[in-house]
Amino acid sequence: MNGQRAAEILGGLAAGQNAFTADEIEQLLAVDLAAEADPDDLAIARWIAPVLLEHAEVSLEAPEALSSVTAKLAEHDDKLGRDWYRLTTRDDKIEARVQARTLLRRARGYLADSVTREALVRLARDARERLLPNATYAPCPALGDEVYAITRRGASVRRELELRLARYGAAPLAAFLKAHDKAASKMQAFSGDITSLARGIGFVKKNPHQVVIGLAKSDAPPGQALRTYRDMMQLTNAPDAAVTCTRNATAFGGPQAAQQRLKQAQGALRQAGFPLDPVVLGAAKTLLPFEPLETGAARFRDIYRLVTDERMAHGELAIKVTARLMPADGTPEEVVERVRLVHSQLHRAAGRAELTTVVALASLARSAEAVPELVARFRELGAELARAGVCRPASADAHALECVACPGTPAEVAATVRQLIAQLTAGREPTGADVAIAAAFAKRFAY
């Protein structure tokens, strides 16, 4: 079965339609995309579950279901067998107790049969854990009386597969499932790492999720990253510097060596004529990849001069703009020219754009020729993230910037971010930090 056919069958199953052959449904059963049920057992399970809850206050899956029903029946028998109870109780209450006893006697008959009870419990567990709410079933006469429904996994696979039919439509379903399950497994492990980092960083006054993102980008195991970060916090008392040292520890032979190089980078900026205020100190990390550091300081000075001479920004904002442009490809003149091009493209497409957005996009463009395509993708991603409910329209641009490098169509990217958010939140309401983390790492999980 190829991806296209699987998507068609899963779509039919979701609507309770028989759109499959016996061989096809067996393939879906084998990979947990569909569930099987005996229609008689299904009818009993749907009848008995509310009866047990209403008249015995116990769930079908509870180990004590049979004993609870038996005890409740004994209570009904005792009450109804007393003449005084019948003389002092209204007829409608007596009738309700008689009806409850009748229902519970029938329920006890099913529960007392171990084979039947096992089947009913399995169906109840499937309804709670594997199936969508109010799942509909479809028959397959070629296989007998059993009926079939799409599982939650099947619904997830269908949704993700339909987005990627251009690549996986003609491929075997197994090829898509391998990629899908690998991504899901990686997301699950990643969410555990993020939880560990978030719990371990301690108090961070401003944007703690950015510290988490920075430590996760170090690619060190969470325990190791946290130990290094805490050591660096004791030395620097600055989360940004501590994260920088943690991320660069491997490249420079250890966190202390990274801290020393960061100090040297700050000194190089001072020698280039910049005052060592907090903004400049924070920008110094952009010099770390340059050898010697003086080369980076010269580039920083040249970009800053162009930014201020052309009145793009001044003061602290000019320092931040320069820092964002430092890793961009090309000479300072080429990089700043791309800022002008992005500005023009964005304003032509959608009116005013924030300078930080313009600069971030310009730093991502590899050349002037790449700017129109990059801006178009950025706009499409922002619109799709907002349309898909991944984030609010007001924050869509910030998250779209993080996702520009993520492979796939805008719809695929939004789906990947949404799937990662679901792993990070584990059922709770997402926060802005969850969305920011998911957008920052979505490209790791594209398939």
Last residue of a domain, one of 116, 139, 174: 174
Domain presence at residue 9 = yes
The whole-number pLDDT of residue 351 equals 54
Q: What is the pLDDT of residue 352?
A: 60
Alpha-carbon gap, residue 80 to 359, rounded angstroms: 82
Asked whether residue 82 is assigned to any structural domain, the reply reads yes
Query: How far does CA 214 lie from the centroid of its chain?
Result: 18
Q: Over the stretch 358-411, which tens digit does the pLDDT of each residue have?
A: 999 999 999 999 999 999 999 999 999 999 999 999 999 999 999 999 999 999
Nearest-angstrom CA–CA distance, 236 and 230: 10
Neighbours of 353 (CB within 10 A): 19
Q: What is the pLDDT of residue 430?
A: 96
Q: Which domain holds residue 119?
A: 3-174
Interatomic CA distance for residues 1 and 28, integer angstroms: 10
H helix or E strand, kind and range, residue 34:
strand 34-37
151-165 as b/e, with b when 16 or more CB fall inside 10 Å?
Answer: bbbbbbbbebbbbbb
Amino acid letter for position 124: A
Domain presence at residue 7: yes
Cα–Cα dist 387/390, whole Å: 8
Question: For 424-437, what is each residue's pLDDT tens digit?
Answer: 999 899 999 999 99
Give the DSSP H or E segment for 150: strand 147-150
pLDDT of the residue at 427: 86
Among 174, 192, 221, the domain-final residue is: 174
Is there a domain that residue 375 lies in? yes
Q: Angle at CA 164, nearest 5°, toward 159 and 165?
A: 100
What does the alpha-carbon distance between residue 286 and residue 293 come to, in Å, rounded to a whole number? Answer: 10
Structural domain contains residue 134: yes
Please list the rounded mean pLDDT of every run of 10 residues in the chain (447 residues). 97 93 96 97 96 97 97 96 93 96 98 97 95 92 93 96 97 97 97 98 95 97 97 94 96 95 97 96 97 97 97 95 97 97 82 83 96 96 97 94 96 97 94 97 97
Domain end among 148, 174, 200: 174
Give the pLDDT confidence score for residue 349 in this predicted structure: 57
Coil, helix or strand at residue 169: coil
Specify the pLDDT at position 347.
79
417 lies in a domain? yes
Number of domains into which the chain is organized = 2
Residue 411 lies in a domain: yes
Distance in angstroms (rounded) separating the CA atoms of residues 339 and 217: 27
Q: Is residue 13 part of a domain?
A: yes
